[in-house]
């Protein structure tokens, strides 16, 4: 079974060009399944039935996973068994008749402009790390990048004369995102005054945002920076790097931006993914109506 898994992950990496983070998620999901089957002494994929897969999902339900995580497990497992079936490693596909779990449509947390500003304005910019944090927060909100995109951003991806940056998103897909004057100013300040003090020639690899060891920031490092300033700002909500992305998209739409333009900036392959922000925008419209209509 492990050999089949190894082969499948190689296909995802080499033929489908999925990101390393996605491949790691698939590997973890499928390893959980193989461990579950191993406890039942099932070592050959031809032995696996729909009941085994159903029982595996029942065991996941006991862990109280989010609907998004459950859907990812389903996608990982379905892709794996489709691969086994196409390559004639199994005769019957045990997931063929299984339905994907329904995703709950919880709206993401979105900060107000005032809350965003209260967080972004906190870093002390006359210190090396404070200036870095200011530039990082400004860029996160200005461009709506994913955390993986911002920690892998390189100096060669900055085109400030054209007021754009180049981002490599999921599956290494390249996109161009506009950047505003405020973010340009603070990133320039950081590159001029702070980054040279953090840079270690052999470790920094042209990465924009560095930690105090001269290496690229980790995902957890960015989360800690945001968490620190959120607490200091007094914002009483749970804020993650992705919260800046949600807020970026929502504030654009509230300001009248075209949905397809926002889709391009976020790097969504399907506009239906972007449309969740129109639901948030409708809530905003209802709020305005309630506040300002004579019979609101």
**Annotation marks residue 228 as catalytic:** no
Work out the angle between the directed axes of helices 219-233 and 241-254 (0-180°, nearest 10): 70
Q: How far is CA 225 from CA 133, 145, 246, 287, in A?
A: 7, 16, 18, 32
Q: Which residues have CB under 8 Å from 14's CB, separation 6+? A: none
CB atoms within 10 A of CB 7: 13
User: What is residue 157's DSSP assignment?
Assistant: G
Point out the catalytic residue in the list 134, 245, 246, 251.
245
Point out the catalytic residue in the list 26, 190, 229, 277.
277
**Annotation marks residue 242 as catalytic:** yes
Point out the catalytic residue in the list 83, 240, 242, 284.
242
Point out the catalytic residue in the list 78, 154, 166, 170.
170
**Annotation marks residue 175 as catalytic:** no
**Residue whose token pair is 């996109």:** 175
Point out the catalytic residue in the list 72, 132, 134, 146.
146
DSSP per position, 223-273: HHHHHHHHHHHT--S---HHHHHHHHHHHHHHTT--HHHHHHHHT-SSHHH
**Annotation marks residue 58 as catalytic:** no
**Annotation marks residue 245 as catalytic:** yes
**Annotation marks residue 260 as catalytic:** no
CB atoms within 10 A of CB 173: 12
- Annotated catalytic sites, by residue? 146, 170, 242, 245, 268, 277
């Amino acid at each position: 079974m492990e050999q089949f898994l190894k082969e499948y992950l190689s296909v995802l990496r080499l033929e489908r060009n999925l990101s390393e983070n996605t491949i790691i998620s698939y590997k973890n999901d499928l390893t959980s399944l193989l461990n579950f089957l191993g406890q039942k002494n099932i070592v050959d994929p031809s032995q696996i039935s729909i009941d085994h897969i159903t029982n595996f999902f029942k065991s996941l339900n006991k862990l109280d996973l989010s609907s998004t995580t459950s859907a990812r497990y389903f996608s990982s497992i379905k892709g794996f068994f489709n691969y086994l079936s196409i390559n004639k490693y199994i005769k019957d596909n045990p997931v063929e008749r299984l339905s994907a779990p329904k995703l709950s449509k919880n709206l993401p947390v979105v900060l107000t402009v005032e809350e965003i500003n209260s967080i972004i304005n906190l870093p002390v910019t006359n210190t090396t790390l404070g200036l870095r944090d200011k530039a990082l927060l400004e860029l996160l909100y200005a461009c709506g990048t994913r955390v993986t995109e911002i920690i892998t951003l390189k100096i060669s991806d900055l085109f400030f004369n054209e007021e754009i940056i180049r981002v490599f998103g999921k599956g290494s897909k390249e996109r161009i995102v506009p950047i505003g004057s405020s973010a340009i100013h603070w990133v320039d300040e950081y590159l001029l005054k702070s980054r040279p003090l953090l840079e270690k020639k052999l470790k920094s690899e042209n990465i924009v945002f560095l930690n105090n060891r001269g290496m690229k920031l980790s995902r957890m490092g960015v989360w800690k920076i945001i968490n620190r300033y959120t607490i200091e700002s007094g914002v009483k909500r749970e804020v993650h790097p992705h919260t800046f992305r949600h807020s970026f998209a929502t504030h654009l739409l509230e300001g009248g931006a075209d949905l397809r333009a926002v889709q391009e900036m976020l790097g969504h392959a399907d506009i239906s993914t972007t449309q969740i922000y129109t639901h948030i925008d409708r809530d905003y419209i209802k709020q305005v109506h309630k506040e300002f209509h004579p019979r609101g």
